[in-house]
Amino acid sequence: MCGIVGYAGGRRAVDVLLDGLRRLEYRGYDSAGVAISYEGLKIFKDVGQLSKIQSNIPNWEGGMGIGHTRWATCGRPSKENSHPFTDCSGRIALVHNGIIENHLSLRKQLEEEGHKFTSETDTEVLVHLMERHYDGNTHAALVTALSEVKGTYAVAAMAEGDDHIVVARKENPLVIGVGVGENILASDVTAILNLTSRVIYLEEGDSAIVSANDITIFDAQGNRAKRDPTTITWSIEDAEKGGFEHYMLKEIYEQPTAIHNSLLGNLDEIYAGAIIPDIDVTSVKLVACGSSSHAAMVGKYIIESMAKLPTTVELASEYRYSPGTGENPFTILLTQSGETADTLAAAREARRRGCRTMSVTNMVGSTISRETDHVFYTNAGPETSVAATKSYITQLMAMYLLGLRLGTMRQALDRAEVRNISTELRSMPRYVNGVLDEASEIENAVEMLASANHAFYLGRNINYPTMLEGALKLKEVSYIHAEGYAAGELKHGPLALLDATTPVVAACVNDHTREKMLGNISEVAARDSPVLGIGLEDDRDLAAITDIKINIPTVSPILSPVPLTVVLQLIAYYVAKKRGCPIDRPRNLAKSVTVE
Ligand code: G6P
């Protein structure tokens, strides 16, 4: 997904911008570019990696500039379609994240007025609109240009001769880092942490003028606005690899800490209103995309069993266009980034329908956190690898905490039950460490998957969605086609696909579906599929019917998704490693999908 960085200060802007953009690489990009205020306005952009740009860029001094990494949406990846864009006179440069929906009609008008376009992008209309309105005041030109567009944006622009960058945002994040004698801005806080930890999150509709010594912010109505800086506690090291071969592995190993941080304080405060205050809830809807939707599916089992509340799950991209039933469930939106376009649209739709909303997100100050009635921060810390790992595990923690809270509010759980679940949750970092200790055994076990073209992941009950997540992890990082299936559904079709070349990963825990699950695994083994079973240490029945068995610690069935997920993450990681895949940045995928 696209990234923006801007800088004004005493350092060489090219270096700051390229460094910042490099920290955004994990978001995925196909081209990049910078505009520097140096002897006029200079622009350098190209397709490919930042390293290529770094080696070819002229030796421009200059302490102010804007930069961009592009992930193609409107217009193929090419030098012409890369940002920054400039107007006909070459006096204004602009970078943009988001989508300008009415770009075709605007382009037609502008071309009729004589503007010459050089790209296929929607973004380019913005710089020509600025040119149309520019009379020496760059901020006014940007605000007026934006008033004519329909769509979403985080945008940064600067004009020749200015000592400042102008920015604005709508439905796309933009953060300003506050320095001393220098200021930096970016679409993601990770890009600026090496310069400062004091940041200002612009609010919806805000615009700003950022120079080396000053930041002036305006709200959506154009009035001067005060936005207090927040201090980010993540260190830059937190966001880097810390000795692991890949971010994904580092983030898998950070899970015991992440779990601890996400539970922090909340378990002791369940009765005191941690997570949500006393509210009247009669039904729940969980809405999300990707891995977050699997956490939501696990959440349904948790909330139904702990709180006895009817709970439904919907994909955000479906929910936003669904007809609605007139009922108003408590609607919980799960999103690691807090910026996923479909999930944001779903949050707005839920509010439009009159639902009380809550977001479960990892990003403090993210758009969704500001657009929902309640927020639960998962506190996983920065996640760099595209595949969600620690953010997913902490979403599960949020679901347990929410289940406990709703369960106590509705008196569906008694104090002893709350105490037992809380005690087990507190031990979860230790259980996860136990799984991590088995990593080399898991690495050896994945041989059967590494050469496969297709694989099935089977589970039942609360571990049906866990296996959906396991299959998604494998697909994302190893490029093996994997299907998560509810084991009871196998006989209704997929059994026809099973043979000795199709390995099966099957989860079996000691819940009321255990016998059925063992039966399903036997059916699979009878079709010659190699089976990798994941189950409790002492489950000899499972060991007897599987080719390889990986153990997980003995926890209550409702908590079994946690250790199980960690095994599945390691399986995906080691398969991808054996296949030589670019684990942290899989092809065609992006960490945060801020377009529909
Ligand atoms: C992208 C990421 C996934 C993530 C999904 C939802 O597709 O690659 O890992 O699960 O977006 O992201 P969110 O930030 O809303 O949880």
User: pLDDT tens digits for 47-92?
Assistant: 988 999 999 999 899 999 999 999 777 788 899 999 999 999 999 9
* Higher pLDDT, residue 240 or 354: 354
Which among 340, 469, 569 is the best mutation to test ligand 1's pocket, defined by most ligand atoms within 8 Å of the CB?
340
Residue-level pLDDT at 27: 64
Please name the residue that has the structure tokens 């005191």: 272
**Same domain (yes/no): 455, 416:** no
H-helix or E-strand spanning residue 443? helix 439-445
Residue 476 CA, closest ligand 1 atom number: 8
Q: Is the CB of 337 under 6 A from ligand 1?
A: yes
**Residue 421 in contact with residue 408, Cβ under 8 Å?**
no
Residue 387 CA, closest ligand 1 atom number: 9
Burial (0-12, 13-18, 19+ Cβ within 10 Å), 295? buried
Q: How many angstroms separate the alpha carbon of residue 111 from the centre of ligand 1? A: 38
What is the pLDDT of the chain when averaged over all its residues? 94
Residue-level pLDDT at 242: 66
**Same domain (yes/no): 366, 489:** no
The model's confidence at residue 239, banded by pLDDT at 50, 70 and 90, is low
Q: How many angstroms separate the alpha carbon of residue 334 from the centre of ligand 1? A: 10
Residue 337 CA, closest ligand 1 atom number: 14
Which member of 42, 170, 577, 591 is catalytic? Answer: 591
237, pLDDT greater than 70: no
Q: How far apart are the first and last CA of the chain?
A: 12
Burial (0-12, 13-18, 19+ Cβ within 10 Å), 583? buried
Tell me which residue has its CA closest to atom 8 in ligand 1: 591
Q: Is the CB of 593 under 6 A from ligand 1?
A: yes
Let me know if residue 539 belongs to a domain.
yes
Q: How many angstroms separate the alpha carbon of residue 301 from the centre of ligand 1? A: 21
Q: Is the CB of 287 under 6 A from ligand 1?
A: no
Q: How many angstroms separate the alpha carbon of residue 582 from the centre of ligand 1? A: 18
**Same domain (yes/no): 203, 256:** no
The pair of structure tokens assigned to 229 is: 């800086």
Q: Is the CB of 266 under 6 A from ligand 1?
A: no
Last residue of a domain, one of 395, 426, 457: 426
Tell me which residue has its CA closest to atom 15 in ligand 1: 335
One-letter amino acid for residue 294 of the chain: H
Would you tell me how many other CB atoms lie within 10 Å of the CB of residue 135? Answer: 8
Q: How many angstroms separate the alpha carbon of residue 35 from the centre of ligand 1? A: 30
Residue-level pLDDT at 148: 97
Q: pLDDT for 438-473, tens place per residue?
A: 999 999 999 999 999 999 999 999 999 999 999 999
* Higher pLDDT, residue 221 or 49: 221
Mean pLDDT over 261-271 rounds to 85
**Residue 170 in contact with residue 219, Cβ under 8 Å?**
no
Please state, for a pLDDT cut of 90, what percent of the chain lies above it: 81
Let me know if residue 184 belongs to a domain.
yes
The model's confidence at residue 28, banded by pLDDT at 50, 70 and 90, is low
Q: Is the CB of 386 under 6 A from ligand 1?
A: yes
Query: Catalytic annotation on 2?
Result: yes
**Same domain (yes/no): 297, 364:** yes
**Residue 450 in contact with residue 578, Cβ under 8 Å?**
yes
Q: pLDDT for 306-355, tens place per residue?
A: 999 999 999 999 999 999 888 899 999 999 999 999 999 999 999 999 99
**Same domain (yes/no): 249, 369:** yes
Residue 589 CA, closest ligand 1 atom number: 8
Mean pLDDT over 270-287 rounds to 89
* Higher pLDDT, residue 468 or 263: 468
Q: pLDDT for 132-177, tens place per residue?
A: 999 999 999 999 999 999 988 999 999 999 999 999 999 888 999 9
Cα–Cα distance between 1 and 589 in angstroms, integer? 9
594, pLDDT greater than 90: no
Q: Is the CB of 366 under 6 A from ligand 1?
A: no
**Same domain (yes/no): 593, 507:** yes
**Same domain (yes/no): 362, 394:** yes
Let me know if residue 583 belongs to a domain.
yes
Q: How many angstroms separate the alpha carbon of residue 326 from the centre of ligand 1? A: 29
**Same domain (yes/no): 383, 463:** no
Q: Is the CB of 592 under 6 A from ligand 1?
A: yes
Which among 171, 291, 342 is the best mutation to test ligand 1's pocket, defined by most ligand atoms within 8 Å of the CB?
291
Cα–Cα distance between 592 and 28 in angstroms, integer? 9
Let me know if residue 431 belongs to a domain.
no
Q: Is the CB of 482 under 6 A from ligand 1?
A: no
Residue-level pLDDT at 58: 93
Q: How many angstroms separate the alpha carbon of residue 587 from the centre of ligand 1? A: 15
**Same domain (yes/no): 160, 23:** yes
| CATH number (domain holding residue 593) | 3.40.50.10490
Last residue of a domain, one of 380, 398, 426: 426
If one counts the domains in the chain, the total is: 3
**Same domain (yes/no): 471, 560:** yes
The model's confidence at residue 549, banded by pLDDT at 50, 70 and 90, is very high
**Same domain (yes/no): 181, 315:** no
State which residues form the domain around 192: 3-238
DSSP code of 91? Answer: -
The pair of structure tokens assigned to 34 is: 């910078």
Which member of 2, 289, 508, 581 is catalytic? Answer: 2
Q: Is the CB of 340 under 6 A from ligand 1?
A: yes
Q: pLDDT for 393-423, tens place per residue?
A: 999 999 999 999 999 999 999 999 999 999 9
**Same domain (yes/no): 293, 379:** yes
Let me know if residue 520 belongs to a domain.
yes
Contacts of 296 (CB under 8 A, 6+ apart): 286, 287, 288, 313, 332, 334, 399
One-letter amino acid for residue 375 of the chain: V
Q: Is the CB of 336 under 6 A from ligand 1?
A: yes
Query: Catalytic annotation on 591?
Result: yes
Last residue of a domain, one of 238, 264, 291: 238
| CATH number (domain holding residue 77) | 3.60.20.10
Q: How many angstroms separate the alpha carbon of residue 182 from the centre of ligand 1? A: 33
Residue-level pLDDT at 261: 86
Let me know if residue 373 belongs to a domain.
yes
